[in-house]
Structure 1
């Protein structure tokens, strides 16, 4: 990149100025994470739009780390966000002189202390966040903005159920942060409430069973009541929760991501009839989420891997996990249907192939009568291509 182009990106891009961040602190923005060096003061050349910033303080030797703290921001062109490290709370806080520091950044006074945003990874971030907008962030993000397992004691008290949740619980117990302090008991994220089971008074048990076997009516109710009928808001919350879970290491976020995945994969009528476009987009979102998570788990050998625990453990990716069972049922529904949207079928097959090749999961395909067929069989689903 020539000097003129770089200068133009510096001026048009947004910047994060972080003052007094201790050395060895893990710092991340979007899909980029690194250990803070002695001259680090932030990031420049950040593309406008939504981003996720997260960090974890360490001991002096950089061998032990506190739980992650993260927050979403929606940046305007040339905007400068200024934060300062609070050594007592071990987190970033706002500074009263933000405008003065902002002008100093725009005047390039801090330029040599700001690392460039890795633009080659921006496309990857966009695939993980393309439905997250400023309105999605404002709807969900907690008061104060911080997303961290430190603020989720009630969830942990309910009793961890998986190895991943056990690890999070142990991490919280072993941290030196005083979780009993009332100042840390801030509100969690404002996630949409999604019931696991549908309960309705006056409905006979047979009909209630049908409602729980096919969650289409629950999906329709939630879309209208909580999202005003806007499907992309639901997808934005799914992406918000996944990022807060994987990068911010929030247990609350994991449970919300799991709840939305349960809801959508639990529908049988909606993907084939009324909401095929939503399910095409949903399947595509989950495909890129799992593709990123699996690649990161296989290739991440940098310092970040030595820091806070990795949430994608064996309990999440084993063949008897909730995700395997949900995918198995959804794949059977899509691949055995007589009529199915062409784009939805294509992304279903891509997701199925990803899980088979990356995790060795096995999904059988049959026609409902116990007879297995190949994908080019004459009894395979009828594909209906729809115009966007």
Structure 2
């Protein structure tokens, strides 16, 4: 039989038919002849499975195609072993665990796993010739008959999808994943994989259910209950109830409650230490960590429907989009956040039922209010806001207006007017103040008590 020199390929032997399989932003149901995915491009990827297409428990893993330790790569100080083998013909093997009904890595520490990996790789040519490998796609191809123009459109659509995926993952790194998820599993080729499930959670988002231990507690008993070791997320500590420095009083504390720029700066410093492990404070590294956490949490909601990641994504946006001084002081960072948010919203329809529907009662209302506040800060509070942030916000504002019909300009709303009832009677109506708007009766007030003392009413 002729030998095959494969492009980067994922092999998933013994996967049961009708299993939900997802790679990045594409999901499908497996068939009996499905054995893997070929032509995987370099960079970060997320492979996951679920028993059904509905809201069943999903499990997956992050891995990197290419040399993760190469100069200029993404190995940012985390200790990652050097990969073995030919990087141009990379073959990644995942094993189906029948007990937990999940895909798991073939581990380097297990001699049986090493032999199994060699056997599957040796059989790759036969699988290829039987058509058991699907070509990697970043987006579903257009429906309908094949034609030259449609093929060109599909190719352009695919290139755009790959650019989108790169934009959604370009701040991920081994250090970031190690900080959030923990130490990776090392497979037979010495490549790291960070495993995550729908049930993975941060301590602050977990509920104490009788009979099930909380994350990080009695992990052995947790394995007995749910059938696998559950990971605990270590997210950046975002405290929206205290956004001022220790010891702040009076006006300083009130202003910090309205403008959370100090809290953002403090979080960036914490993130730089958490991600760098190099000593000292590197705020650029901290900003990259926050952007990476925004990317990770969004994608874990989109693929695994992870509740804890949704809450952290909302917390980070709630902090960033309520900053004022940071719009000028951290112009590049704020611009990067707006660009990333726009890209995330543009791909949010990739999830069945809609991204915001996962949030229950609120839906996208929380984000609409945040963007309205940010617009007020950008145009009414901050003088001479940077052109970079202004331009990126205009693109975001235009998109949500066209896609969601969100009007972010408060001045476009009539807050008081005459309403004619069905019987012809005319009444004067007044739109009440929203407690979240920090306007009218809800606006923070600083009262001078004399002798330099102040009292805040927020």
Normalised by the size of structure 1, how large is the TM-score?
Answer: 0.75
Q: CA deviation at 1:224?
A: 1.7
Name which of 125, 147, 156 aligns with 1:108.
125
Query: Partners of 1:151 and 1:180 in 2: how far apart?
Result: 16
Whether the 8 Å contact between 2:356 and 2:364 is mirrored in structure 1 is no
Alignment check: 8 A CA contact 2:201 2:309 kept: no
Whether the 8 Å contact between 1:270 and 1:276 is mirrored in structure 2 is: yes
Structure 2 residue 293 is the aligned partner of structure 1 residue 293? no
Conservation of the 8 A alpha-carbon contact between 1:315 and 1:321: no
Is 1:220 equivalent to 2:265 in the alignment? yes
Deviation per CA, 1:197-226: give whole Å up to 9, x if none.
226553214322222221111111121222
- Aligned-pair distance for 1:239? 0.4
Gaps of 5+ in 1: 1-6, 160-177, 298-304, 371-388
- Number of the residue aligned with 1:139: 179
Greater CA deviation, 279-288 or 263-272?
263-272
User: 2:95 — aligned with what?
Assistant: 84
Shift of residue 259, structure 1, vs aligned partner = 1.4
- Trace 1:306-325 onto structure 2 (pairs within 5 A): 311-313=355-357, 315=359, 321-325=365-369
Q: Which runs of no fewer than 5 residues in structure 2 stay unpaired? A: 67-86, 107-112, 139-157, 186-193, 210-221, 273-281, 416-458
State which drifts further: 179-188 or 346-355: 179-188
**C-alpha deviation, 1:320, in angstroms:** 7.4
Deviates more, 1:341-350 or 1:201-210: 201-210
Compared CA separation, residues 286 and 311, structure 1 to 2 (3 A): closer
**Structural mapping, 1:64-75, within 5 Å:** 66-75=56-65
User: In the superposition, relative to structure 1, how do residues 38 and 350 fare at CA in structure 2: closer, same or farther (>3 Å)?
Assistant: same
Q: What is the rounded CA distance, in whole Å, between the counterparts of 1:27 and 1:93 in structure 2?
A: 13
- The counterpart of 1:282, out of the listed 337, 343, 367, is 337
Partner deviation per Cα, 1:215-248 (whole Å, 9 max, x = no partner)? 1111111212222421222211110111011112
Distance 2:361 2:399 in 1: 13
How far off its partner does 1:136 sit? 2.6
Residue pair 1:68, 1:148 contacting (<8 A) in 2 also: yes
Question: How far off is 1:101 after superposition?
Answer: 4.4
User: Whole-Å Cα distance in 2 between the matches of residues 277 and 139 of structure 1?
Assistant: 24
Using structure 2 for the length normalisation, give the TM-score: 0.64
| 2:266 alignment partner, SS class | helix
Pair 184,213 (structure 1): closer, same or farther in 2 beyond 3 Å: farther
Structure 1 residues 339, 84: CA separation in 2 closer, same or farther (over 3 Å shift)? same
1:284-337 Cα offsets, whole Å, 9 max, x none, are: 00000011114x36xxxxxxx4xxx75421857968722111111001222334
Would you tell me which structure has more helix in proportion to its own residues?
1
Residue aligned with 1:209, SS: helix
Match of 1:118 in 2: 137
Partner of 2:48: helix, strand, or coil?
A: strand
1:355 aligns with 2:435: no
Query: Is 1:25 the counterpart of 2:14 in the alignment?
Result: no
Please state how far the C-alpha of 1:57 moved relative to its aligned partner. Answer: 1.1
Distance 1:137 1:74, change over 3 A: farther
- Cα distance between partner residues in 2 of 1:99 and 1:290: 39
- Tell me the residue number matched to 1:4: none
Distance 1:46 1:73 in 2: 11
CA contact (8 A) 1:192 1:226 kept: yes
Aligned residues: 324
Indicate whether 1:148 and 2:197 are aligned: yes
User: Which residue pairs with 2:191 in the alignment?
Assistant: none
Shift, 1:33, TM fit: 1.0
Summarize the Cα distance change of 1:293–1:182 in structure 2 as closer, same or farther, 3 Å threshold: closer
For 2:27, what is the secondary structure of its paired residue?
A: strand
Aligned Cα RMSD in Å? 3.0
* Greater relative contact order structure (CA < 8 Å, 6+ sep): 1
